[in-house]
Amino acid sequence: METEKKIEDNMRSALKQALERRQVERLSSNFSYRMMGHIRLEAEKQRKRKAKISWVALLTSVLALLGLGIYFLFFYVDINFADYLPQTDVRSEAPLLKFYIYIALLVLLLLGVDYWLRKKYIWK
């Protein structure tokens, strides 16, 4: 009986000593600020991901509806589109077409450079 009491007292004192020796680690003073910063970044990533997914879904649905409409027009409606399109001589308009293609490629190139510069210097 006596030995059991000593063992129990020793265990209690050992636990007390261990708890007293334990170092209480404190969080840094800006822990909550940093944690909220991480949470804000993750929320922004999720928002951007949702926006990308919604744009892809919108584009897919528009293309599917457009394809379905074209399919319906060509295979279920008897319309001859050649009757409605003007008859033009392509050879006489070839220089003008080359100019339009040049301007279109130039516009695409400038839009690409604009996007690249905005991404590099403004959106950071």
Predicted confidence (pLDDT) per residue in 75-98, tens digit: 888 777 777 777 766 677 778 888
Cβ–Cβ < 8 Å for 98, 91: no
pLDDT at 33 > cutoff 70: yes
Predicted confidence (pLDDT) per residue in 35-66, tens digit: 999 999 999 999 999 999 999 999 999 999 99
What pLDDT, on a 0 to 100 scale, did the predictor assign at position 109? 98
pLDDT at 114 > cutoff 90: yes
Domain ranges of the chain: 88-124
Amino acid at residue number 69: G
By CB neighbour count within 10 A (0-12 exposed, 13-18 middle, 19+ buried), where does 6 fall?
exposed
